[in-house]
Amino acid sequence: MTDAQNKKCHAIIHSCAIACGAGNVAPVPGLGVAADIVALTTMTTSLAAVFGGDLTVEAAKGIAIGALKKQVLKQPIKVIGKELSKFIPGLGQVVAPTISIALIEAAGWAIAKQLEREYSN
């Protein structure tokens, strides 16, 4: 990954993670996951463009869901904690966005590395 690509990926991933954090402020269990998938799908198409690729929305959604699933399986306690924290007024509005940002950051960099490998060949 070149420095220019790294900077573009950094901006895309961080802005997506912040958007996902904002989407997880609402104290409704499950709503955050939907926001995460929508933001990850958009992020995936943007990351593909950084590496010269062009993805359909369905392909981007598949990659996004796969990356999110990997992160959830790696850190199931965090995900369960994120959703359960939404039942506690006040605490959920702090814990859920924080965990969501961390998960989206990790998934975003995994997607970026995957797309780099795909489009560099």
Burial of 121 (0-12, 13-18, 19+ CB in 10 A): exposed
The total number of structural domains in the chain stands at 1
Domain, as residue range, for 66: 3-120
For 97-113, write each residue's pLDDT tens digit: 888 888 889 889 999 99
pTM over 0.85: no
For 11-63, write each residue's pLDDT tens digit: 999 999 998 888 878 777 677 778 888 888 999 999 999 999 888 889 988 98
